[in-house]
Amino acid sequence: MTITFTMTAGELVTQAMNDRQVLAGGRTPTAWEMSYGLSKLNQLLKTLAADQVTPWAATEATATITGGDPDVTLSPRPAEVISVGLVVSATNERPLARWEIGQYDVLPNKAAVGDPVAYIVREVSAGIDLRVWPVPATNKTLNYRYVAVPEDVAQASAVDLPQRYIGDIQLMLAVRLTTFQNHNPDLPALAALAERRVYDAARPGSYFFEPACA
C-alpha cells in the first residue's frame, strides 16, 4: 500500500477542466488554457491563505523591532499572523496580546516606552506590518507564527496541499474557470460542498470569549 499520491499544478488544472467538461476526448489544454487555469489556481490558493483556511501552511519566523520604533515589516510577508511572542531570554518567550486597530487608536499614550505587551497587524504597501505597544527602548526580538503566502505555481510545480484536500481544491478550481461555459450541472453543488469541507477543517475545535474591557 502506498500513500504518496500527489499532483502537479498542470495536472490539477487539466483535471479541473475535465470536471468542467472542457477537454473532450482526452484533449490536453492549449497553452492559453493552461495559462488561464494556472492563473485561476494561483488566485484560489492565495484567497484561501488570506481567509486563513490553509493551516498546513502555518510556520514561524523571527523579527527584530528597533528601539524607539513601534513598527516592523515582516519578511517573508505572511498571509495572516497567528500569534506573536516577545523573546525575554533564550528559554523564555512572553505572548503578546493581539489588539484591533480600534483598541490601539483609543490609547492616550501611544508613545509610552517599555517592553511590548500587545501588537496590532497592519497591511501596508510594503506588506504586513506589526505595531507594538508600548514602544521598546532597545532592540527586541519577536517570534511570530503565521500562515505563509502560497508560492506561485507553474505547470510542473508540485502543489503544496495535503492529499485529502487535492480533490476539493480541484472542484473549487473547476467552478472558477468561468471563461468555459460547458460544465457538469452537478459541479457547483459539489464545489460548494468541497469548499465548506475545507473551511470547516480550518476552524478551531474551541472558541474562547473574554469580557470586554469597561
Structure confidence by residue, pLDDT tens digits, 140-152 = 999 999 988 888 9
Q: Summarize the confidence of residues 161-172 as an average pLDDT.
A: 88
Q: Are residues 44 and 99 in the same domain?
A: no
* pLDDT confidence bin for 12, thresholds 50/70/90: very high
d(CA 142, CA 207): 25
In this prediction, residue 121 carries a pLDDT of 93
> Does position 206 have pLDDT exceeding 60, yes or no?
no
pLDDT for 68 equals 95
Q: What is the pLDDT of residue 71?
A: 95
How is residue 150 written as a grid cell?
Answer: 502560497
Pair 45, 80 in one domain: no
**Do residues 162 and 80 both lie within one domain?**
no
pLDDT surpasses 70 at 101: yes
- Verify that 143 and 62 share a domain, yes or no: yes
CA atoms within 13 A on the CB side of 205: 0
C-beta separation of 127 from 74 below 8 A: yes
Write the Ramachandran bin of 138: left for phi over 0, alpha for psi from -120 to 50, otherwise beta.
beta
Q: Are residues 108 and 137 in the same domain?
A: yes
Domain holding 75, by residue range, is: 57-148
Q: Indicate if the pLDDT at residue 202 is higher than 60.
A: no
- Judgement on whether residues 118 and 155 belong to the same structural domain of the protein: no
**pLDDT at residue 182, rounded to an integer:** 62
**Hunting for cell 499614550 — which residue is that?**
109
pLDDT at residue 98 is higher than 90: yes
Q: Are residues 140 and 77 in the same domain?
A: yes
What single letter denotes the amino acid at residue 38? Answer: L
Asked if pLDDT for residue 41 goes beyond 90, the answer is yes
> Is pLDDT at 47 greater than 90 in this prediction?
no
Q: How many domains does the chain have?
A: 2
25 within 8 A of 92, measured Cβ to Cβ: no
Q: How confident is the model at residue 205 (pLDDT cuts 50, 70, 90)?
A: low
H or E stretch at 119: strand 118-124
Co-location of 17 and 79 in the same domain: no
Contact 115, 86 (CB under 8 A): yes
Residue from 204, 187, 75 nearest 128 by CA? 75
Q: How far is CA 34 from the centre of its chain?
A: 24
Q: Does residue 214 fall inside a structural domain?
A: no
- Residue-level pLDDT at 10: 95
SS3 category, 76: coil
Residue 203, classed as helix, strand or coil, is coil
Same domain, 67 and 136: yes
Tell me the whole-structure pTM to 2 decimals.
Answer: 0.69
- Please check whether residues 67 and 119 belong to one and the same domain: yes
Query: Is 116 found in the same domain as 36?
Result: no
